[in-house]
Amino acid sequence: MRKLILKMSVSVDGFVAGLNGEVGWIFKSTDDATIAWIVDTLWCAGVHIMGSRTFHDMAAYWPTATDKFAAPMNEIPKRVFSRTGRADITGTGSTTQALKDARRARAHTPAAASTDSSWSHVPVAGGELATEIARLKAEPGKNILAHGGARFAQSLVRENLVDEYRLVVHPVALGQGLALFADLPAPLHLQLLSSTAFGAGVVANVYRPV
């Protein structure tokens, strides 16, 4: 049975986004070494899963992106989790804008023409979360990689569905925002499997529940 891995960028005080979903702070401390670590994580997945809001934003950005994340984000199959049973790909949210701002800031090659990539005709999981995740875990293939957004990630954590946490901790304190480990029914004990520090102050910690 394959694992569900949750990859999230978090602030030092445990937030994954600002109160209104702001994520621009992530890019201020993301250097080449951090990018390489994240890209390796992305390629380890057999399927990327996310909530409908995150899919909404990412589908508006990745098909025309050319940065180092673009290949695994575009080539690896997706699965959207939506209570409505629908996935909207006309993204205009804060995640989309932050990604565009980061691309401009790093002066990447201009985006290529959009391709009909794995963002089109993506299966939508609309059933009970635990049931849908169990079904995915039982399928053959490489591990499942969850991206969020915050509410979706919180649900995965709260229902104890995550087998491994890959948390990219950025050297910033937000003071308030959307906390990954909000509303836990009980303390969540984790075993640290590895910790990798990068030059810009980011630390990538890998945990598993115990």
Whole-prediction pTM: 0.85
83 pLDDT tier (thresholds 50, 70, 90): confident
Q: Does 127 score more than 70 pLDDT?
A: yes
Residue 71: which of 42, 50, 47 has the closest Cα? 42
Mean pLDDT, residues 99-103 taken together: 47
Residue in the structure block whose two tokens are 């959207």: 80
pLDDT value of residue 86: 60
Mean pLDDT, residues 29-41 taken together: 96
pLDDT value of residue 121: 86
Q: Does 106 score more than 80 pLDDT?
A: no
pLDDT value of residue 183: 86
Q: Which amino acid is at 199?
A: G
> Distance between CA atoms of 114 and 21, rounded to whole angstroms?
26
110 pLDDT tier (thresholds 50, 70, 90): very low
CATH ID of 4-209, from 3.20.20.70, 3.40.430.10, 3.90.1200.10, 3.90.1150.10: 3.40.430.10
Q: Are 40 and 198 in contact (CB under 8 A)?
A: no
> Distance between CA atoms of 40 and 38, rounded to whole angstroms?
5
- 58-82 residue pLDDT tens: 999 999 999 999 999 999 999 999 8
Residues listed for the chain: 210
Q: Which two tokens stand for residue 198?
A: 């990068």
149: preceding bond cis by omega (within 30 degrees): yes
